[in-house]
Amino acid sequence: MAIDWLAIAPEVALTVTALLVLAADLALRGDAKQLVNPLAMIGTVVAIVFAVVLWAEAPRVAFEGQYVVDSFAVAFKLLFLGTLLAILAISARYFAEGRYFQGEYYFLLLTAFIGMLLMPSARDLLVLFIALETVSVPAFVMVGMRKRDLYSSEAALKFFLIGVLSAALMLFGMSMVYGFTGTTRLEGIAQALAGDAGSVPLLLGSVMLVIVGFGFKISAVPFHFWAPDTYAGSPLPVAAMLAVASKAAGFAGLLTIAFVAFEPVADVWAPVLGVLAILTMTLGNLVALQQRDLIRLLAYSSIAQAGYMLIPFGLARPGAEVVNQAAVRAVLFYLIAYAVMNVGAFAVAIGVNRRTGERSIRDYAGLGTRSPLLALAMTVFLLSLGGAPLTVGLWAKFAIIEAVAVEVTVFGLVMASFLVVNSVIAFFYYLRVIREIWFEPAAAEAPRLQPALSLSVVVVVLMVGTILLGVLPGLVADPTVVTTFATGG
Amino acid sequence: MGTVLEYAWLVPVLPLVSAALIAVFGKRLPWHGSEIGIAAVGLAMLLSIAIAWQTFVTSPVEPLELAYDWAPLGGGTVLELGMLVDGLTAMMFLLVTVVSLMVHIYSREYMHGEVRFTYFYAMLSFFTFSMLLLVIANNLVQAILGWELVGLSSYLLIGFYWEDKSNQDAGNKAFLTTKFGDVGLIVGAIVLAAGMLELGSTTPFNLLELNQAAADGQLGQGTIVLGILLIFLGCMSKSGQFPLHVWLPDAMAGPTPVSALIHAATMVTAGVFLLARLFPVLAQSQTAMAVVAIVGVITLFFGGLLALVQDDIKKVLAYSTVSQLGYMIAALGVGGYTASIFHLFTHGFFKALLFLGSGSLIHAVHSNNMSDMGGLRKAMPHTFWTFVIGSLALAGFPLTAGFFSKDEILIAGDIWAGAGFATGNLVYWVGLAAAFVTSFYMARAVFLIFFGETRSHHAPHESGRWMLAPLMVLAVLSIVSGYIFSPFWTAEQNFETWTATPIIDEEATFPFADHGAEAAGSAVQGEGVLAAAPTLAAEGGELTILHGAPTWHPDLLLIVLAVFGLAVVLAWRSYGHGLPERDPTLHMGGLSTALVNKYWLDDIGYRYIVVPVRDRWSAWATWTSNVLIDGAVGGVGRATKALAVATYDVDQRVIDGGVNGVAFSAAWWSERLRRLQSGDVQRYAGALVAGVVVLVLAVALAR
Amino acid sequence: MSPLGPLLLAALLFSIGVYGVIARRNAVLVLMSVELMLNAVNINLVAFQNLLFPAELAVSGQMFALFIIGVAAAEVGVGLAIVFNLFRNRATVNVDDVDLMRW
Amino acid sequence: MDPNTAGWALVVALFLPLVGGGALALMPAALDQQIRRAAVLITGVSFALVIAITATFDFGRSGELQFVTDVPWIAAIDARFFLAIDGISLPLFFLTYLLTLLCAIYSLKVLPPPGKPKAFLALMLMLQTGMAGTFVAFDLILFFIFWELVLVPMFFMIGIWGGPRRDYASVKFFLYTLFGSVFMLVAFLAIYFQSGAQTWSIPELSALAPFGSTTFQTWAFLGIFLGFAIKVPMWPFHTWLPDAHTEAPTVGSVLLAGVLLKMGTYGFIRIALPILPEGATRFAPIIGVLAVIGIIYGSLCCLAQTDIKRLIAFSSVGHMGFVMLGIAAMNATGIQAALFGNLAHGIITGMLFFLAGSLHERYHTRDIATIGGGMLKLLPRYGVLLTYVAVASLGLPGLAGFWGEFTAMWAAISPGVGLADSYQGLYLALVVVAALGTVLTAGYFLWLLQRVNLGDPPERWSSGHLDDVMTIEWVSWAPLLVLILALGVYPRLVFGVQDAAVTNLVGFLGG
C-alpha cells in the first residue's frame, strides 16, 4: 500500500517540527530556549506551504478512503495553520517572560494542531476519535501549564473531567453506531442510515451521543460549563487556542460527521441542534452581560458565537443538497471570520493584561490613551464580533442569514430572529468594553503599554484582515464557495 | 404694448426692496432708514393710483393674470407665482399703499427716538410687502404665503416693546389665534385644490380657475362647503370675527401707527378680502353664506357693545374695528359683495385716521386712557377736527364715507331679505342697531377726549407736521372716498363696476336661490346686481336696471341720521362735559323744560338701555370674551400644557421604559442564568449528562 | 450468542461510571469511574465485532478498542498528573473544593 | 465631467473623506490647528468635487442615474459596487457635503471637551462617507454597509464628546438603530431570494416589482419599516433621538439632525416604496397615522421641555412626521414633499442645533429657565438668528420649512395608488390634525423665543461678558441661513431637480 505523502504533508511537517522543538528544548539552555518559538513558526510556515499546494491538488484520497483531503479539509487546514501562526506569535513573549516550560508548551501546542489537521480529513470514526483526543490531551496539559497557579490547576481539572466525560459518552455512541452499522467508515454509516437502520430509536440516540462529543469541543449549551472557567484559568494564548482553534476543530469534526455520516437522519438531529443553537447563543449572550472579567466575557461571547454557528446545522435536511452545502459554507465562513477577530481580541488581551487572576474590564479604562493601537484594534475586533459593518463579522452573520434564506422555513426564521435579537444584545457588552476603552479616563497608576513587536504585528495583521474582509468578503467567500466534501474511495 | 397693469408686480416688490435696504443700510442713513420706506411706499402708491385709474376708467376690467411656474409639485401639477390684477386688486392696492404711506410718514415723528426705529421701519415696509403679496396673488398658495407673512410681521410689531411680558403675550396670542385660523385656511385651500385636481387642473391652486369652476357648477357641493367654511375659519381669525376676535384688542400693545396700519386698515381686512376673492365659490352654497352672515352679525353687534365700556381709546377703536369687520363679513353673507369691499375701502381710511389721531393724543398726554384726557379740543385743534371727521365717518354720518358704505350693507341685507332669506333681515336690523351703538361710543369717545376739563397730568401740545399731515390727508379721504359709489357717478363708472369681475357679473352666482330670485324680481340672480344701490332703485320702480347708477335713498338717510342723532345726544347727555361720575350736576344743569321728555327718555334709556347695555350686557360680553372665550383659549393653552407634560411623562416612562424594560429583563435573566455557573465541576458534569439524556431521548423518540 | 448480554453489561458499567464521575468527591475515584466508562465502550466494541460482524476483515471494532485502551492510558496519565498537581497546590483531592472560579 | 462616464468623480468624492480621515489619524496629535485645517481642506475639496458634480449633472435627465459606477464586488452573493446619483439623491448628497464642511469649519474654533481634534475629525470624516454613501448606493448590500457604517463614528462622537449622560445616550443610539437595521437586513435577504433575479440592484428590483405574495410583501415591508422608521424616527420609535441629540456634541447633533435622520426617509422612498409597492400600500395608512401622531406628540413634548437642545430634538419628531405624511400619501406630490421636507429639516434643524450649541458655549447651560430671556439685548445678533431659524422651523411660508409641510398635507388629501378610494376620510382627518400640529409647532417656538429672546436679561448674566456671534460662526452658518431663504423663495431648486426622478419612482408604485 503506497502512502500518499503529499496528502498528509502538512501533518508530517508539523510532526517533524514538534519533535524538533522537543529536541531543541532539551538542547538549549536559559534564554536560548526562546529560539523554539521561531523554530515552530518555520515549521508552521512549511506546513502552510504544503497546504496551499494541496489546495490546488484537492481532492486526494489516502488510506483507503479513511483520510480525504478535499477543498473543505484544506480550507480548514489553512484556517488551523493560520491560527497556529498567530498563536505562536502572541505566545512568544508571554511564555518567555513567564518562565514557563517553553519547550513543552510548543511541543504540546504543535501536537494539538496535528490533531486538528486530521479532523476535517477524517472519514472514519476511529480517525475522528484519534484526532479529537490528539487535540484534547495536549490541551489538558497546556491549560494546567502554570503549575503553581491555583486557577490554572483548577481550570485543568475542570477541563479534563468534562473532556473525558464527553469523550466517553461519544465513544459509547460510536460503539453503538458501529454495532448497528457494522462499519466505522462514515460513508458506510451513511449508507446504513439511509436504509432501515435510520429509524431505530437506539441508533438515533447513539447518533446524538456521538454529536455530544463535539458539542463539548464547541462548547454548546449544556456542554459549555467548562469553557469560562477554563479560559479564565489557563494561560491566555492557550485560552485563545481553545476558543478559536479547538472550537474550529470541533466544528470541523461536527460538520464532517453530521453532513457525511449522519446526513440521512438530518431531519432528526437538525431540530435538536437548532434548539441547541438558540439556547447556546441566548445563554452565552445573557450571561456575558454580567461579566466583569474580560476573559470570561470573551468566553461567553465565544459560546454565543458557537450558537450562531450551530444555526446552519439546524437547517440541514436529508438529501437537500443545496441547503446543506450552503449550511456548510456558512459555518466555514463564520469560522474563518471568527478566527480572525477572536484571536485578535485575545491578542489584545495578552497585550493589556499578561498576568493571572481577575482581568477586569476596568483595566481597559483609558486604553485609548495608553495604547492607541491596541485600543483601536480591540474596538475593531469587538465591533466585528458584534457584526458591525465594514468588518468581517457582519458578513459572517450575513452568511448565516443567507443560509437560512436559501429555503425559508418557519424554524429557520425563528433561529434567524434569535440571531438578530442576540446580535443586538451582544452589542450591550461589546460596547461596554469599548466605552471603557475610550470614554473612561485611565487609572492614575496605569502605565503606557509597550506590546511586543510580534504581538503588534499579529494585532495589526488581524485588524487589517478584519477590515479588509469587511470591505471585500469575496476574498474569502469566493474561494470557499467551491468547498465541498469529497467522498472517500 | 402692455398697460400699466403689467407693472403691478412692482407694487409689492418696492416695499420688499425697501425693507431689505432699511435692514442693511438703515442705521447709517440720516433719517435712519425712514426715508427709504417713505420713498418706496410713495412710489408704490403712485403706481397704485395709476393702476386704480386705469382699471376704473375701463371698468369693468378683464382680470389680467400673469404667472410663471414657480415649482413643479409632482404628478404634473405646478405651483405658480403670479399676479392677478383686477378692480379688487387695484382697490386694495390703493387702500394699502395710501394708508401705509401715511403711517410711514406719521411714524417719522411718532417713533422718533425709539431704540429700534430702523427695525420698525423695516418691519413696516415688510408688512406692506406681505399684504400686497396677498392682494396680488393669483393662487391660493401665494395668498397663504402673504397671509402668513402678514401674521409674522404683525407678531413682530405687536411685540415691538418686547421688554414687557404683557406685550410678548399679546404678540403670541395674536400669532397663535390667527395661526389656528390658518389651519382652516390651509386645509380649506387644500380641499378646494383637491377638487380642482380632480377636474384635471394642472394649476389646482389658481384662483381664477377655481372661481370659474365653482361658478360653472363643476365643483361638488361637499368640496365647496367644506373648503369655503374652512377658509372662512381662517378669515374669522384674521379678521377678528367672533369668537376669534380676542387677539385684536390685545394687539393694541403694539405702537399706535402699527395699530393704524395693521389692526385697522389692512391686515384685519385680509380675511374679508380673501373671502371676497373667493366670492363666486362662496355664492354656490346657501349654507356657507348663512354661516358667514350669522357670524358677521354676531360680531358686528357684540363687538360694538364691547366698545362701550372701554376707557383705553385704542381699545374702543379696536372693538369698533371688530364690529366694522363684522359688517363686512355679514355683507358677504347676504350677497353684498360690493357693499362689503366698499366698506372695507372706506373703513380703511377713517379707521386709520382714528388710530393715528389717537396716537397723536397718546403722544400728547402719555396715556391711552380717556380718563386721563378731556378738553383737548383747544390744545390740539387739528387732531380734534380730524378725529371728529373720522368718528363721523365711522358712525355713518350722512355724506361721510362711512355713510355710503355702511348703508350699502344694510341695503344689501334688505335685498337679501327680499329674496326670501332670513339672514337678510338679521343683517339689516342688527346692523342698524349696531350703527346706533357705534355712534354712541364714538360720540362718547370724542366727548371724553376733547370736551370737558383736561384731566391730563402733562401739558398737552399739538403734534408736529409729520403727524398732522397724514391726519389731514386721511380726513379728506374719510369723506371723499365714499363718493366713489354715490349718485354723483354714472352707471358705467362707479365702485361697483370697478370691482366687479366677469365671473361675478355674468355667471350663475346664487344657484340655490332660483325661486327666491324670481321673488326678488331677478334682482339677485344672474343680473349682476350685487351692489345694493341699483337694486333698490329697481325696487323703486325702475325695473331691471343692471349696473344702474347709485341713487339716493332718502328714507334710509333719514333713519341713519335719526339713529346717529339719538346716539350723539345720548352720549352728550352722559359725557358732553367730562366724566359723568365726577360732575353729574353740570349734566343736570344743561336741561330745559322742552327736554324733560328727553330727560324722561334719557332716564328710561339710561335705565333700560344704557345701564343694561353699558354695565351689564357689555360687561357680560366682556366677561364672556375675557373669561369664557379667552379663558377657553387660555384653558386650551393650559390643558395643552398639562397634556404636554403628561405626554412627556408617558414618553419617558412607558415607551422609553418599555425599551429599557427589554434591556432590564435581559439583565434579569442574565443574573439568573449566571448562577448556573456554580464553579462545581461535578454539577457541570451532572448538567451535561442530564442534557445528553434529554437530547438522546428526544432524538430517539423523534421517529 | 445474542449481543444483548454484553450490551447490558456495558450499559451497566457505563452508568456506574457516569454516576461515579458525577457523585464521587475524590478525584482519584472520579478518574477510576472514567476508566469504567471507557471499558464499557471496549466491551461493546469487541462484543459487536465478534458477535455481529465476525466476517469483517478490517476488524475495526477490535482495532477501535485497542486505540481506546491506549488513549485511556494517556488520559489517565494526564488526569493523574493534574490531580497530583492539584493536591500539591491545595492539599486536597476533593473535587468539591475546587470552585475558585465561578459565575 | 461627462455625467455619463465620470463615475470616478462620485467615487472619489465619496471616499475622499474616509481616506482623508485615515490620513488625519496618522498626523501627530500635537499639530492641533493643522489637523483642524486639514479637515477643512479635505471636506472643502470633497465639497468642491460635489459642486463640480452638481454643475455637470444633466438636469434634463434628472430621472436617470448619472455618474454610474457598477462593478462586481462580492461575487459569492452577487453584490455589486453600484454607485450613481439621480435627482432624488443629488440634493441630499449635496447637503451632506455642505453640512460636513460647515461642521469642519465650525470645529476650527469650537470643540467640546476632551478636545482631541484628530480623533473627532477623523470620525466625522468617516461619518461623512457613510452618510453620503447611503444616498448614492444603488445596491442593497452596499447601501446597508454605508447605513451601518454611520453608527460607529456617531456612537463615538456622542460617547466621547457628549454631555453628562453620554454613556447612556450613545449606547441607546447604537443599539436602537442597530436593532432596526438587522431586521432590515433580513428583509433585504428575503427580497433578494424572493425576486429570484440574483441581484441586489435597487433599479433592477424596482423594475421587477411587485413580486412575491401579499404576505411576503407585508412581512418584508415590516422588516424594512422597522429599520427605517427607527432612523427617521417615527413615533413611537423615537425615544433614542432626544437622548442622542441632547448629549451629542454640537457637530454631532447637526449631522444627526441634518443628515442621519434623512437616511431613514430616503430609504423609504428609494427602497421600500418602489421595491415593495404592495406592502407599502398596505402600510401607508398606518404610516400616515403614526406620522400624524408624531406631529402632535412631538409638538406637545416640545412644550414640556426645559432643555433647549431637547426641545429642538423633539421638534424633529414633529417635523419628520410631516415628511412621513408625505410618504404615506404615496403619490408624486407626497414624495416631492417628503424629500423637500427632509432637506429643509436638515438645513433648519441643523442650524438650530448650531445655535443651541453656541448658546451652550456662551451660557454653559441648556436650561431655558436659567438662560432666562433677554438674549436680544445681551446677544442681539444671536437673538435675531434664533428668531429667523425658529420662524423657519415653524413653517413660515417664504422660508424652507413651509414647502415640505404644506405640500405634504396637499399630497395627503388625495393619496395615490387607490388609497383615496378606501381611506379618503382617514386621510382628510390626517391632514386636519397635521394642520393643527402646525399651530402647536408655532406655539412652542414662540414660547421658546419668548423665554430666550425677549424680556430683560436676568442679573446673573449681566456681570460676565458674553460674545455675540463670532466670525467663524458666521462663516459656517451663512450658507445655511441663505439656503433657508433660498429654498423658501425658490422651491424649484429642489422640486425641479427631483421632479423627473420622482415621476419615475412613482411609476413603480403602480395603482
Minimum distance, in Å, between the CA of residue B68 and any CA atom of chain D: 12
Minimum distance, in Å, between the CA of residue A265 and any CA atom of chain B: 10
**Residues in CB range of B1: below 8 A, 6 or more apart:** none
Reported as type and span, the H/E element at residue A60 is: strand A60-62
- B546: helix, strand or coil: coil
- D197: helix, strand or coil: coil
Q: How many CB atoms lie within 10 A of CB B425?
A: 15
Q: Which residues of chain C are within 8 Å of residue A228 when distances are taken between CB atoms?
A: 101
Which CATH number does C4-89 carry? 1.10.287.3510
Nearest-CB residue to A286 (from B666, B683, B702): B666
**Contacts of B among chains (3+ CB pairs under 8 A):** A, C, D
- Residue B635's pLDDT is 58
Q: Which residues of chain C are within 8 Å of residue B674 when distances are taken between CB atoms?
A: 103
Q: C-alpha dihedral over D472, D475, D477, D479, to 10 degrees?
A: -170
**Distances in Å between the alpha carbon of B552 and those of B310, B411, B527, D81, D358?**
36, 12, 21, 85, 69
Whether A229 sits inside 8 A of C102 (CB atoms) is: yes
Q: Average the pLDDT over D209-225 and give the result.
A: 88
Omega cis (within 30) before D210: yes
List, as one string, the DSSP characters of C37-86: HHHHHHHHHHHHHHHT-TT-TT-HHHHHHHHHHHHHHHHHHHHHHHHHHH
Whether D74 sits inside 8 A of A473 (CB atoms) is: yes
**Residues in CB range of D266: below 8 A, 6 or more apart:** D88, D92, D134, D135, D342
Whether C98 sits inside 8 A of A158 (CB atoms) is: yes
**Residues in CB range of B167: below 8 A, 6 or more apart:** B158, B159, B160, B161, B253, B254
CA distance D20 to D27: 11
Comparison of pLDDT for D60 and A307, the residue scoring more? A307
Whether B75 sits inside 8 A of D454 (CB atoms) is: no
CA distance B134 to D397: 12
Residue of D nearest to A329 (CA): D76
- Residue B526's pLDDT is 27
Minimum distance, in Å, between the CA of residue D122 and any CA atom of chain B: 32
CA distance A386 to D236: 26
CA distance D222 to A72: 38
The HSE-up count of residue B128 (CA atoms within 13 Å, CB side) is: 40
**Residues in CB range of D155: below 8 A, 6 or more apart:** A431, D170, D171, D173, D174
Number of H helices, E strands in chain C: 3, 0
Q: How many residues can be counted in chain C? A: 103
Percent residues over pLDDT 70 in chain C:
99
Instruction: State the amino acid at position B510 in one-letter form.
Output: F
CA distance C74 to C67: 11
- Residue B579's pLDDT is 67
Euclidean distance between the first and the last CA atom of chain D, given in angstroms as a whole number: 38
- Residue B280's pLDDT is 84
Q: Which residues of chain A are within 8 Å of residue D131 when distances are taken between CB atoms?
A: none
Whether C85 sits inside 8 A of A183 (CB atoms) is: no
Maximum average pLDDT range among A398-402, D158-162, D263-267: D263-267
Q: Is the dihedral of CA B488, B491, B493, B496 positive or negative?
A: positive
CA distance D66 to D89: 11
Chains D and B touch (3+ CB pairs under 8 A): yes
What is the 3-class SS of B354-405, one letter each residue? HHHHHHHHHHHHCCCEHHHCCCHHHHCHHHHHHHHHHHHHHHCCCCCHHHHH
Comparison of pLDDT for D182 and A118, the residue scoring more? A118
Residue of A nearest to D144 (CA): A389
Put simply, whether B675 touches A (Cβ < 8 Å) is no
Q: Which residues of chain A are within 8 Å of residue D76 when distances are taken between CB atoms?
A: 473-474, 477-478, 480-481
CA distance D360 to D381: 16
Q: Which residues of chain B are within 8 Å of residue C21 when distances are taken between CB atoms?
A: 682, 685
Q: Which residues of chain D are within 8 Å of residue A428 when distances are taken between CB atoms?
A: 171, 175
- Residue C42's pLDDT is 93
Omega cis (within 30) before B72: no
Q: D237 — phi, psi (to 5°)? A: -100, 20
- Residue B531's pLDDT is 37
Chains C and D touch (3+ CB pairs under 8 A): no
**Residues in CB range of C56: below 8 A, 6 or more apart:** A182, A183, C49
The pairing of strands A67-69 and B64-74 is: unpaired
- DSSP conformation class of B254: S
Put simply, whether A192 touches C (Cβ < 8 Å) is no
In chain A (489 residues long), the average pLDDT of successive 10-residue segments reads 82 93 86 85 94 86 85 92 93 76 87 94 92 93 85 88 91 91 89 82 88 88 87 90 93 92 89 92 84 88 94 90 88 93 92 68 84 90 89 89 84 87 84 86 78 89 92 79 61
The string of pLDDT tens digits covering residues B263-296 is 888 888 889 999 988 888 888 888 888 899 999 9
Nearest-CB residue to B176 (from D402, D446, D456): D446
Whether C103 sits inside 8 A of B679 (CB atoms) is: yes
- Residue A128's pLDDT is 93
**Residues in CB range of A32: below 8 A, 6 or more apart:** none
> ipTM for the complex?
0.80
Using a CB–CB cut-off of 8 Å, the residues of D that contact A are 73-77, 144-149, 151-152, 155-156, 159-160, 166-167, 170-171, 174-175, 178-179, 182-183, 185-186, 189-190, 192-193
Q: Which residues of chain B are within 8 Å of residue A428 when distances are taken between CB atoms?
A: 663, 666
Minimum distance, in Å, between the CA of residue A137 and any CA atom of chain B: 18
**Distances in Å between the alpha carbon of B15 and those of B36, B48, B122, B364?**
9, 13, 9, 30
**Residues in CB range of D43: below 8 A, 6 or more apart:** D17, D20, D97, D100, D101, D103, D104, D125, D128
- D28: helix, strand or coil: coil
Minimum distance, in Å, between the CA of residue C97 and any CA atom of chain B: 8
Contact status, residue A231 vs residue A239, Cβ threshold 8 Å: yes
Residue of A nearest to B669 (CA): A286
Nearest-CB residue to C89 (from A125, A153, A184): A153
- Residue B587's pLDDT is 44
Residue of A nearest to C56 (CA): A182
Nearest-CB residue to B696 (from A209, A271, A286): A209
Comparison of pLDDT for D466 and D309, the residue scoring more? D309
- Residue A7's pLDDT is 86
**Residues in CB range of B33: below 8 A, 6 or more apart:** B21, B22, B25, B26, B27, B117, B118, B121, B122
Whether D409 sits inside 8 A of B190 (CB atoms) is: yes
Nearest-CB residue to B684 (from A162, A271, A276): A162
Percent residues over pLDDT 90 in chain D:
41
Minimum distance, in Å, between the CA of residue C102 and any CA atom of chain B: 4
- Residue A173's pLDDT is 92
Nearest-CB residue to A286 (from B670, B683, B695): B670
Q: D74 — phi, psi (to 5°)? A: -115, 100
Q: How many CB atoms lie within 10 A of CB A409?
A: 13
Euclidean distance between the first and the last CA atom of chain B, given in angstroms as a whole number: 97
Q: Which residues of chain B are within 8 Å of residue A209 when distances are taken between CB atoms?
A: 692, 696
CA distance B332 to B283: 9
Contact status, residue B407 vs residue B560, Cβ threshold 8 Å: yes
**Residues in CB range of D311: below 8 A, 6 or more apart:** D302, D305, D368, D444, D448
- Residue D460's pLDDT is 80
- Residue D132's pLDDT is 94
Whether A172 sits inside 8 A of C41 (CB atoms) is: yes
Indicate which of D186, D194, D219, D240 best probes the interface with A, i.e. most A CBs within 10 Å of its own CB: D186
Q: How many CB atoms lie within 10 A of CB B17?
A: 15
Minimum distance, in Å, between the CA of residue A12 and any CA atom of chain B: 36
Domain boundaries, chain A: 9-477
**Contacts of A among chains (3+ CB pairs under 8 A):** B, C, D
Residue of B nearest to C103 (CA): B677
Put simply, whether D455 touches B (Cβ < 8 Å) is yes
Whether A208 sits inside 8 A of B687 (CB atoms) is: no
**How many interchain CB pairs under 8 A, A with D?**
81
Whether C99 sits inside 8 A of B679 (CB atoms) is: yes
Q: Which three cell numbers stand for residue A394?
A: 457582519
Indicate which of B659, B681, B689 best probes the interface with A, i.e. most A CBs within 10 Å of its own CB: B681
Q: Average the pLDDT over D401-416 and give the result.
A: 89
Whether B674 sits inside 8 A of C18 (CB atoms) is: no
Minimum distance, in Å, between the CA of residue A7 and any CA atom of chain B: 36
What pTM does this model have? 0.85
Q: Which residues of chain B have pLDDT under 50?
A: 1, 515-547, 582-606, 609-611, 613-614, 617-622, 624-626, 629-630
Domain boundaries, chain C: 4-89
Indicate which of A164, A209, A286 best probes the interface with C, i.e. most C CBs within 10 Å of its own CB: A164
Q: Average the pLDDT over D351-372 and give the result.
A: 88
